[in-house]
Amino acid sequence: MSHLTDEQLQSLYVQLLEEKVALEKHFASNDQFGLANSFSDSIGELSMYDNHPGDIGSEVFERAKDISLNEHAEMHLQQVNEALARMESGDYGICVFSHQPIPYERLEAIPTTLYSIEHVPDPDQSFRRPVEEQVLYPPFGRTSFDEKNNETEFDGEDAWQIVESWGTSNTPAFAESNQVESYNDMYIEADELEGYVESFESFVATDLYGEHVTIVRSKAYNEYMHSDEGDPFLEPERTADLDDE
One pLDDT digit (tens) per residue for the chain, 245 residues: 578 888 999 999 999 999 999 988 888 775 655 555 655 555 555 555 656 666 677 777 877 888 888 888 889 999 999 999 999 998 899 999 989 999 999 999 999 999 999 888 877 766 677 777 776 666 666 677 776 777 777 787 788 878 887 878 777 777 767 777 777 667 766 666 666 677 778 888 888 888 888 888 877 777 777 777 666 555 555 544 444 44
Amino acid at 195: G
Q: Are residues 141 and 98 in the same domain?
A: no
Whether a cis peptide bond, with omega within 30° of 0, leads into 138 is yes
Helices assigned H by DSSP within 119-218: 133-136, 156-164
- In sequence order, the 6+-apart residues with CB closer than 8 A to the CB of 70 are 32, 33, 35
Distance (Å, rounded) from C-alpha 63 to C-alpha 123? 24
Distance (Å, rounded) from C-alpha 175 to C-alpha 177? 5
Write down the pLDDT at residue 53: 66
Instruction: Let me know if residue 191 belongs to a domain.
Output: no
Instruction: Let me know if residue 227 belongs to a domain.
Output: yes
The DSSP call for residue 89 is H
Per this entry, what is the length of the chain? 245
Q: In 3-state terms, what secondary structure has residue 214?
A: strand
Q: Are residues 12 and 115 in the same domain?
A: yes
Instruction: Let me know if residue 128 belongs to a domain.
Output: no
Q: Are residues 11 and 85 in the same domain?
A: yes
Residue-range definition of the domain harbouring residue 102? 6-119
Instruction: Let me know if residue 192 belongs to a domain.
Output: no
Number of domains in the chain: 3
Q: Are residues 37 and 97 in the same domain?
A: yes
- CATH number assigned to the domain comprising residue 12: 1.20.120.910
- In sequence order, the 6+-apart residues with CB closer than 8 A to the CB of 176 are 186, 188, 189, 190
Contacts 24+ apart (CB under 8 A), 69-76: 69/33, 70/32, 70/33, 70/35, 73/23, 73/26, 73/27, 74/27, 76/19, 76/23, 76/112
pTM: 0.45
Q: Are residues 212 and 239 in the same domain?
A: yes
- Alpha carbon distances (Å) from 104 to 20, 42, 83, 92, 94: 20, 45, 14, 11, 11
Q: Are residues 111 and 26 in the same domain?
A: yes
Distance (Å, rounded) from C-alpha 183 to C-alpha 218? 19
Q: Are residues 30 and 59 in the same domain?
A: yes
Beta strands in the chain (DSSP E): 204-205, 214-215
Query: Could you tell me how far CA 243 lies from the centroid of its own chain?
Result: 59
Instruction: Let me know if residue 209 belongs to a domain.
Output: yes
Instruction: Let me know if residue 166 belongs to a domain.
Output: yes
Instruction: Let me know if residue 125 belongs to a domain.
Output: no
Amino acid at 198: E
Write down the pLDDT at residue 44: 56
Write down the pLDDT at residue 174: 72
Q: In 3-state terms, what secondary structure has residue 25?
A: helix
